[in-house]
Structure 1
Amino acid sequence: MLNQVLRKAVCAAFLALPLSISFATEAYKSAADVPVEVFFKRVDYRSLVLSPDGKTLAAVVPLKNRGNLVLIDVATRKAEVITSSDRFDVASLEWVGNKYLMFRVADGQDASGRFNYKGSYYYDVDGKQVQELESTDGDKKNNIHITSILSHVGGDSPVAIVTMNGRSKEFEDVYTFNFKTRRSKLMTFESPGRTVGWELDTKDRPRIAIRDELRPAKGQPQMTTYWHLPIGAEKWEKIFESSSYKDKVNYQILGFDNDDRTLYVSANLDGRDKMAVYKYDTTTKKFGDVVAEDDIFDVDQSSASARLIRDPDPKNRKVYGIAYQGIMPKRIWLGDSPAKTIVDMVNGALPSTYNSIGLSEVGDKALVRSSSDVEAGTYYLYDAGKKSLELVLKERDWADPKIMAERKPIAFKARDGLPIYGYLTLPRGVEAKNLPLIVNIHGGPMVRGYHFESWGRWPEAQFFASRGYAVLELEPRGSEGSGMKNFTSGWKQWGGTMQDDLSDGALFLVQEGIVDKNRMGLLGGSYGGYASLQGMVKNPDLWQCADSSVAVSDLGLLQNVTWSDTAEYGDAATGGYLANEFTKWVGDSTNDAALFELRSPARNADKVKGPIMLSMGSDDRRVPLIHGEKMRDALLKAGKQLDYKVYPEEGHGFNRDVSVFDLYHRGEKFFANCLKKK
C-alpha cells in the first residue's frame, strides 16, 4: 500500500530554474534520430547535493558555457545563482553543516579531459559570500589546501574534520577546520609520516593512517602500509601492507562500525581470488567472517566503488549494509534498519532503476538519483512525512528510456578456459541476428572499464547501438576488478592472450548467431587504441576495420619516451614505475625485445588488411604524439588505408566539444563504410 502511495505522489515537475538560459528538448522517435551533438554534449545538470537539514539543494548548472553553482530552497523552489564564471567550472561540492558549502573549480575543457583542480572556495549561506580557500593561481601566499573533508560536526556548525597539506606539500595530516573563523588545529601531530590517506572512527578520531613507503630498490615493489591508533594510545601500529605489484594479499579499508573497534576491510585473504569485505577486530587483530562477496567481481573501493551504508544519524552511524558495483549495482544488507526501509519504499516506487539515496541527517528527506542501462539519470526528492517522491530534473532530457538500447551482462570462456565477463548492448527494435559488431575496448588496461550503467561524457555503447551495431564491452584478462587470476594472467600479454580474449568474445557472439562474422570492427582509446591496432595486425582476416584514438603503437616507445607523464614517475635510485611495475606487467624493451617487436603494431603495419581510423591529441603526455606519427608513417609506407587526424590542444582523451563531435562524426561514417556493406 505504501509503495502505491509513493507512485501516485510522483509529481510532474519540481523546479524551473530562474536563469537566463533555457533548453529546448526535442522528442526523438528513435535513438537513430539523435544527433552526435546531442549524444555527446555535456550533462546539463550534475552534482546535486542535499543539505544535512534537507532544506537546500545545491547543483551545478549550465551558465555562460560553464558549470556554475546554484542553491535551491526546497520549500519555496527558488534558485539562487552563487557563481557565474565564464572561465572555470565547479568541479565538486560538499556541504559543511547547513550553512557552509565547499566547492572546487577547474577548467573542465582543458586538454587533459579531466578535472584538474585550479582552486577551492566556500559559500557562507547566511553571509551570502563566496570565500577563497586556495587561489586559482596555485601559488598565492596563505593558500589553504584542503584535500578532502572527512567529516563535519553537523547542524549549523562551521567545523569540519579535513585533510590538509599543512606540514608537507606531498603528504597529508588531519585537522579541525572552522569555515567561519578559517582557523585550523592539527589532530595528527604524531602521525606515522608519509601519509596519503586517513580514516576516522565514528567519534571523528583519526584511527587509520595509510602510508606510502619508499621503494627499497629497483626490482622490488613499492609498499603501502596501513597503521592503526588504538583508542587512548599515542603510538601507531602497522596492521596491513599491500604491494604495488598487486601480486599478494591486497587491502582496502572501508571504515569503522559504531563500536569503533570493528573495521570493515576489503581483502583477498587465504588465497581467495576475489576481494571480499571482512570484519576486522582492531583489538584482537583478527579477521572475522566475510560479510560481502561477489562471484564475478572484487568487492572493493577502487574497482567496485564499495562503500558502507550507515545510519544517517550522526549520533549513531551504525553500519547497516554495503553497496557496490557488481554485474549490476547492488546492496548487501547486514540487518533491518531505517535506511533499508526507505530504500525498499523508493525501490517499490521506482522498480526498474537503481536508486541511490542521500538522506538528510534526521532522515525525513532524501535526494534520490535513479538510473539504469536505459535511464540516463533522474533526480527525485523524497519526503518521509508526505510519503512522496517529487521529480527534480533529468540529467539528459532527450534520452527517453523507451528508445534507448538495453545492456545485457555476458559471460563466456576464453580458449584456455578463463571466464571472461562484460556487457553486450544491442540495437533496439532489431532482431539480434547477424548484426554488425563493434568491440569497444577500455583503456588502462589495469582497470575495470565497464559497469551496467554506461552513461557518461562518452556514452559510446548507446550511440553505436543507435546506429544499428551490437556493441561488446569486455573485461579481458589483465583488467582489475575481476579477481587475481584474471589480473595476473594478463602480465606480459599485451597483444597476446589479452588480444585473444577480445577475439574469443566476438566469435562467441558469432556462434550464438547474434553477430555476422564478416562485419566486425574494433574501437578503443589508449590501451583500447593499442588493442584495436594490434587486432588488425594479429588477426587481419577477422576484423574489417579499427577506430583507434590516443593509441599506443609501439611498446618500446611506451617505456622509453622520456617526455611522457609516466616517465615522471621515475626516480634516479630505483627507476620508478617504468623500470619496475611496467616491466612486470607489460615487459622490458631490452629483455623482451623480441616480444616488443612482435606485439608493436607500428612495427608490423604490413600485416594490416582493412582500413584504420587513427586520432591523436597534440598535447598528449600519457601517449605522446610520436606513437601516432610512427603508426601513420608505417601504414602509409605499407600502402594501407588510413584516416589520420591530430586534434589541436587535446590531451589523452578529447575534451573540447568541437573535437568530440568531430571524432564521432568521423567514427559514424567510418564504421558505416566498413561494416554496413555486405
Structure 2
Amino acid sequence: MATALAAPLASQALAGEAWAADAPGAAAVIPPTLDELLKKPVMLDAALSPDGERVAMLREVREGDKRLAYLRMAKVGDYDNTTQVLLGDFEVEQVEWASNDRLLIWLRFDKGQDGKPTGIPYDGDFIPIPVRRVMAVSPDGKNPVALFGNQKRVLRRDFNLAQVVDVTPDDPDHVIMQIWNYDYDCWALYQVNIHTGEAVVSERGSPTTDGWFLQNGRPVLRYDSNDSGTSVTVSARAPGESDWKVYRKFRRDELKKLENFDVMAATPEPGVLLVASLATMDDAVTVRRFDLRNLTMGEVVAHQPGRDISGVFCDERSGLVASRYLEDRQAYLFTDPKLAAHFKGMNAFFGNECNVRLYDVDQTHNRFITFVSGPRQAGGFHLYDRTARQYAPLGDTRPWLDGRLASMEILKVKARDGLDLTAYLTVPVTPAAGPRPMVVMPHGGPQARDGYDYDLWAQALAAQGWLVLQPNFRGSGGYGKAFAAAGHRRWGDAMQWDVEDCVEAVVKSGRADPGRLAILGASYGGYAALMGVVLKPDLYRCAVSRAGDSDLNQLLTYARRDEGADSLTYKWWVRLVGDPKTDAAMLKAGSPRQRVGEIKAPLLLYHGSDDHIVTPEASRDMAKAMKKAGKPCEYVEVKGEGHNGWAEAEERRFLERAIGFIARNFQA
C-alpha cells in the first residue's frame, strides 16, 4: 500500500472514456435485472472547492473482476479540459476538498501487496478486515501523500486510518482525524498535515470515549458510551475552558442518533451549536441553538409545522444554508429566502419528480453540487450556478438504468379511524392486461419513514411485474410528534390496521390482484410482515421477514437483560411497545410467535447471526414454533452479518431467495 501511495499518479485519458459518455442514450423499456440493479456505480462522488472554481469527480470502471478508479478534476465550466488522475485497483470511497489547494481521497484495500486478503486470524479462522486510508493530492493530481505517513508503526498496525472528523477552514494546512491509540487503549484525535502527512496527537479520550464533536478544529462535545453503545453520556467544553462538564445521558437509536439531542452542525459563533430537539412545546423536531457555556437550548432556528427537521446543510465555515425535511420529496427551509426560488427551479429542471439534495457549496453560496435521485433516477451529480441559473451534469451513478426504472405514485389514504396516511406505490414499466400481483413492504424503525425516491428493493420487486406498496403507518417518523406517538403501544393493532387500509385502497382501485398479495419487510417491517399474516391469514399468499421481532415479550426481556430495567433503552421500549407488568395480554396478542396457529401463509425468515439490534433468536424461535405447528417456514441465518449493512453478495442472495419465494407462492 505504501508503494502504491508513493507511486506517481498518471494524468491521462482512459481508453473508451469521454465526457459525453454520461449522456443518456435511447434505451428500450426493459426492466433491469437484479445484476444491473446491484452493479457497482460508475460515478461515486463529487466535490466542489471552497472557492467554487474547481470540481473533483470520482469515477470507477469495472470489467469482470478488474476495476480502475480515477478522478476527473476540472475548472467549473471548462469540462472539456479535465485532468484525469488514475488511482488504480482500489475501492475509492469519497473525495473532499480540504482547501483550495488539496483534495482528500478515501481509499479502501481488501488485499495487500502480496494479493492476500487483509484481516486477522482468530480462533482458527480468518476475519477479513479492509484497510482504509486517506490520501491528499494537489488539483493537478501531483504531490500525493498518505495521511499519517510519518507514523510507520501506525500504518503497519491500524486497519482504519480514514476518520477525518473536521476540516478546519482557519487552518488550511491541517485536518483533524480520530484513530485508536494503542499506547493508552483509547480513541485519540490527531492534527494531520495535508501536505506532508505528519500526524500529532491533540486530544486523548477515556477508555469509554467513542468520539467527539468539533467546532473549528477544537473538541467541544465528547461522547462516552456504555458497553453496548445504546446509551451515551455527553460532556461539554466551551471555548476557553479546560475541563469537561457532564451534560446528560441519552439513548442512542439504531441510526446512531441521540434521542432529542442530535447535534447537526457547528455555527460560526464560538460555543454555539445547532441541535435537533423535540421540546415539550414542540409539535415536531426543530433545530435550536445550543450554548456550550451554560448548557442550555436557545432559540428555534428552523421549524416546519408537522414535519421533523432531519438535518442541516452548511458551508465550509459552518454558515447555515438550509434545514432539510421530507414531505414526499426532499424539501428545505433556506436562511436566504432568495435561494428558495432557485431550489424551485432546480426541481422544475427535473420535472418535479426527483429529490434534489444539496450536496456541496462554495463559500459565496453561488455554486452548488446537488445529488439528484428519484423513483426513475438511481442518482446523479449536477452542478448548479446561481448567477448563471444553469445546471451542468457531472455524471449519473448508474446510467444503464436510465429510462428503465419503475415509476412511483403518491397515495393519500384515510385510515379507518380518520387518520390521514401516505403510501407510495411503485408501478412496473411493463404493461399489464389486468390487476397485478402486489408486494406490501412496510418500513423498519418503526420511527423511520419511506419517501418518493429510488428504492433498490422496490425496483427489484417491480422488475418482476409486481406492484410494490410502501405505507407510512402511524408511528412512522418525519410527520411530527403526534403521528409518531399514535403508534406507541399499538404495534399489534392500529399500526397494522393502517397497512391493511392502504392495501385495501389499492385493491379496491382494481390495480392489485387480491388473490396475489405478499408482504415483505426488515426490522420492524419484518415484524409487521409476520403480524400481517396473523391478523389477515387469508389476505397474503406468503410473508418474508428479515431481522424481524417475533415476540414482544422477548424483545423487552432481552432489552432488560442487556441494558437493565432502569436503562434509557429499556424505558424507551416500554414506552414504545408496552409494559410486561401491566400489558401482558396486549404484548401476547401482538406477538406473532404466540399466534402461529392462526397463520396460513408460508414464511421465509432471514436473519444475521451477529445482529445486536434484533436478536437472531427472534427468527430462530419463530421458525421452531412454525415447525412445531406444522406450518411451512424456511429459515436462513447469515453468518457474520448484523442488523443492516450486509455484504453485497449476501444482499444479492437475500433478494434472489425472497423473489423466488414470492414468485412460487404467487403461482401456487
TM-score calculated relative to the size of structure 2? 0.75
Structure 2 counterparts to residues 422-441 of structure 1, below 5 A: 422-428=423-429, 434-441=435-442
Query: What does the per-residue CA deviation read over 1:147-183, in whole Å, with 9 as the maximum and x for residues that have no partner?
Result: 433223379x431244555699897666543234445
The CA deviation at 1:649 is 6.0
- Change over 3 Å in CA distance of 1:181–1:422 after alignment to 2: same
Q: Which runs of 5+ in 1 are unaligned?
A: 1-14, 216-220
Paired AA for residue 151 in structure 1:
V
Q: Give the counterpart of 1:151 among 154, 167, 191.
A: 167
Where does residue 400 of structure 1 map in the other structure? 402
Q: Does 1:101 align with 2:104?
A: yes
Q: Does 1:178 align with 2:177?
A: no
- Change over 3 Å in CA distance of 1:190–1:674 after alignment to 2: closer
- Kept in 2, the 8 Å contact 1:146–1:165? The answer is no
Where does residue 80 of structure 1 map in the other structure? 85
Q: Does 1:321 align with 2:333?
A: no
Q: Give the counterpart of 1:503 among 483, 500, 510.
A: 500
Query: What does the per-residue CA deviation read over 1:415-463, in whole Å, with 9 as the maximum and x for residues that have no partner?
Result: 44554444232334768985433210223x24414232234xxx12223
Q: Give the counterpart of 1:36 among 34, 58, 64.
A: 34
Partner Cα separation in structure 1 for residue 376 and residue 489 of structure 2 = 37
Partner Cα separation in structure 2 for residue 516 and residue 389 of structure 1 = 43
Partner Cα separation in structure 1 for residue 448 and residue 511 of structure 2 = 25
Where does residue 541 of structure 1 map in the other structure? 538
The CA deviation at 1:276 is 1.8
- Change over 3 Å in CA distance of 1:206–1:439 after alignment to 2: same
Give the 3-state SS of the residue equivalent to 2:506 in structure 1. Answer: helix
Where does residue 144 of structure 2 map in the other structure? 128
Structure 2 counterparts to residues 263-278 of structure 1, below 5 A: 263-278=273-288
Query: What does the per-residue CA deviation read over 1:368-388, in whole Å, with 9 as the maximum and x for residues that have no partner?
Result: 432223222122345679875
Partner Cα separation in structure 1 for residue 478 and residue 276 of structure 2 = 12
- Kept in 2, the 8 Å contact 1:297–1:327? The answer is no
Partner Cα separation in structure 2 for residue 613 and residue 144 of structure 1 = 37
Where does residue 522 of structure 1 map in the other structure? 519
Q: Give the counterpart of 1:391 among 386, 393, 406.
A: 393
The CA deviation at 1:484 is 2.9
* Aligned alpha-carbon RMSD (Å): 5.0
- Change over 3 Å in CA distance of 1:580–1:162 after alignment to 2: same
Structure 2 counterparts to residues 108-507 of structure 1, below 5 A: 118-125=131-138, 126-131=142-147, 147-153=163-169, 157-163=172-178, 176-184=191-199, 196-200=211-215, 204=216, 206=218, 208-212=220-224, 224-225=233-234, 227=236, 229=238, 232=240, 250-260=260-270, 263-279=273-289, 290-299=300-309, 304=310, 306-310=311-315, 314=317, 318-336=319-337, 346=346, 349-352=349-352, 353-355=354-356, 356-361=358-363, 366-381=368-383, 389-401=391-403, 403-428=404-429, 434-443=435-444, 445-455=445-455, 459-507=456-504
- Change over 3 Å in CA distance of 1:291–1:141 after alignment to 2: closer
Paired AA for residue 43 in structure 1:
P
Partner Cα separation in structure 2 for residue 326 and residue 399 of structure 1 = 26
Query: What does the per-residue CA deviation read over 1:258-300, in whole Å, with 9 as the maximum and x for residues that have no partner?
Result: 455765433223432311224567789886764433344311x
Paired AA for residue 377 in structure 1:
G
Give the 3-state SS of the residue equivalent to 1:448 in structure 2. Answer: coil
Query: What does the per-residue CA deviation read over 1:521-570, in whole Å, with 9 as the maximum and x for residues that have no partner?
Result: 21112332222122112221232321223343344555667xxxx89x94
Paired AA for residue 120 in structure 1:
R
Structure 2 counterparts to residues 611-626 of structure 1, below 5 A: 611-617=602-608, 622-623=613-614, 625-626=616-617
- Change over 3 Å in CA distance of 1:555–1:66 after alignment to 2: farther
Partner Cα separation in structure 2 for residue 131 and residue 189 of structure 1 = 19
Paired AA for residue 613 in structure 1:
L
Partner Cα separation in structure 1 for residue 43 and residue 639 of structure 2 = 28
Partner Cα separation in structure 1 for residue 270 and residue 73 of structure 2 = 36
- Change over 3 Å in CA distance of 1:538–1:367 after alignment to 2: same
Partner Cα separation in structure 2 for residue 37 and residue 189 of structure 1 = 46
Partner Cα separation in structure 2 for residue 446 and residue 133 of structure 1 = 44
Give the 3-state SS of the residue equivalent to 1:609 in structure 2. Answer: coil
Partner Cα separation in structure 2 for residue 106 and residue 162 of structure 1 = 19
The CA deviation at 1:197 is 3.5
Give the 3-state SS of the residue equivalent to 1:441 in structure 2. Answer: coil
- Change over 3 Å in CA distance of 1:367–1:62 after alignment to 2: same
Partner Cα separation in structure 2 for residue 507 and residue 134 of structure 1 = 64
Partner Cα separation in structure 2 for residue 582 and residue 123 of structure 1 = 45
Where does residue 5 of structure 1 map in the other structure? none
Task: Give aligned-pair identity as a percent.
Answer: 22
Where does residue 60 of structure 2 map in the other structure? 61
Higher relative contact order (CA 8 A, sep 6+): 1
Q: Give the counterpart of 2:43 among 39, 45, 52.
A: 45
Partner Cα separation in structure 2 for residue 497 and residue 80 of structure 1 = 56
Q: Give the counterpart of 1:639 among 615, 621, 630.
A: 630
- Change over 3 Å in CA distance of 1:434–1:131 after alignment to 2: same
The CA deviation at 1:56 is 5.2
